[in-house]
Amino acid sequence: MDIVILLFRQNLVMLIYMMIGYLMFRNRLLTMQGSGELGKLLLYVITPVVILNSYARDFTPQMLTEIGLSFAAAAGSLLLSMAVSTLVFRKRSAICMFGASFSNAGFIGIPLVQMTLGEGAVFYVVSYVALLNFLQWTFGVYSITKDPAAVRLKKIVTNPVVLGLAGGLLLFFLPVPVPQTLRGVMSTLASMNGPVAMLVIGSYLAQKPFGELFTSGLTYLCCFVRLLVIPVLTIALLTLIPAQYMMIRLAVLIVASAPVGANVAIFAQLYDKDYTGAVRDICLSTVLSIVTLPVIVGLANLVWK
């Protein structure tokens, strides 16, 4: 149960970062423009560097096997979450379907994996984050717009996460050592992922009266599906991975059990959909995940014994 306690503590740390962002926005120390620019810093610099940093290691056949297993686990988990979300929300809400399908794997899942399982465990969830971004720009965009023309290959190919994965794989497979100074820079930037992401989410939370988070039945349903139904089914799915790869199981489970991804608000704005509902889903699920994530990991430990 040590990992459950550690995860709960790290969730509290993330909550403190989020509350700092909340208070800064409320006291006009962080503006909408500033929040957007922090989001761009996350998307275009910090997240790709996190990926590069996780792949800056020596190639071994064992790691190649682990990449394959983690990719299979990621694909299975994401297909499962999309299927469940479509079943529940197809006739209710496109925004909730998007939000429940895609967790905040990059901005919350990766930092939690870093802090609870160690820097090396990020190696196992990079493929999850890359696949998630690909599916957001395909399945996600189509589910919101219902327009196949809105799905653009250029947006997928030039996505910073996809480019970061391509660069990371080159680092991994090519026998080119990364200079120690550059490793230090990458490690420092990667460590900024959690704090900066939670400052941004805190600013989202501050944009609406706190009481409004608790007024929508659809938001509760979205949180229930994203934080409990999908993670429980993911535990069953990850049981198919051999027990000696427990680190892969836990790492993928953590990112798959993260709250609603921040991108749903970005896409809602981009395509003129329910932005308010998207922010509500993100914020309430983030607050609730402080409790649900440790519970899910604790349940997984019991099932996988």
CA angle 11, 219, 281 (to 5 degrees): 50
pLDDT at 292: 93
pLDDT at 81: 95
What CA–CA distance (Å, rounded) separates 49 from 28?
30
DSSP state of 103: B
Going from the C-alpha of 136 to that of each of 53, 55, 104, 141, 247, the distances in angstroms are 24, 23, 12, 6, 26
Beta-carbon contacts of 270 under 8 Å, excluding residues fewer than 6 positions away, are none
Residues forming beta bridges with residue 236, ordered by sequence position = none
Residues forming beta bridges with residue 103, ordered by sequence position = 260
Q: Is the pLDDT of residue 153 over 80?
A: no
Using one digit for the tens of pLDDT, what is the confidence trace for 217-252? 888 999 999 999 999 999 999 999 998 999 999 999
pLDDT at 70: 92
Name the one residue in this structure whose structure tokens are 């800056």: 56
The Cβ-side half-sphere exposure at 166, using a 13 Å CA radius, reads 8
Asked if residue 30 lies in contact with residue 200, where contact means CB atoms within 8 angstroms, the answer is: no
Cα-Cα-Cα-Cα torsion 40, 45, 50, 52, nearest 10 degrees, comes to: 140
What CA–CA distance (Å, rounded) separates 219 from 225?
10
Would you put residue 179 in left (φ > 0), alpha (ψ -120 to 50) or beta?
beta
Tell which residue, 98, 121, 85, has the closest CA to residue 230. Answer: 85
pLDDT at 232: 96
pLDDT at 179: 81
- And the tokens for 273? 């959909």
Q: How confident is the model at residue 36 (pLDDT cuts 50, 70, 90)?
A: confident
Q: How confident is the model at residue 131 (pLDDT cuts 50, 70, 90)?
A: confident
Q: Is the pLDDT of residue 1 over 70?
A: no
- And the tokens for 300? 């997984």
Beta-carbon contacts of 124 under 8 Å, excluding residues fewer than 6 positions away, are 66, 70, 113, 247, 248, 251, 252
Q: Is the pLDDT of residue 284 over 90?
A: no
Going from the C-alpha of 8 to that of each of 87, 93, 110, 204, 247, the distances in angstroms are 31, 31, 15, 22, 18
Q: Is the pLDDT of residue 255 over 90?
A: yes
What CA–CA distance (Å, rounded) separates 202 from 199?
5
The CATH code belonging to domain 2-303 is 1.20.1530.20
What's the mean per-residue pLDDT of the chain? 85
Using one digit for the tens of pLDDT, what is the confidence trace for 179-189? 888 888 888 88
pLDDT at 62: 83
Q: Is the pLDDT of residue 270 over 80?
A: no
Lowest mean pLDDT among 19-28, 110-119, 270-279, 281-290: 270-279
What is the distance of C-alpha 91 from the center of its chain? 25
Q: How confident is the model at residue 257 (pLDDT cuts 50, 70, 90)?
A: very high
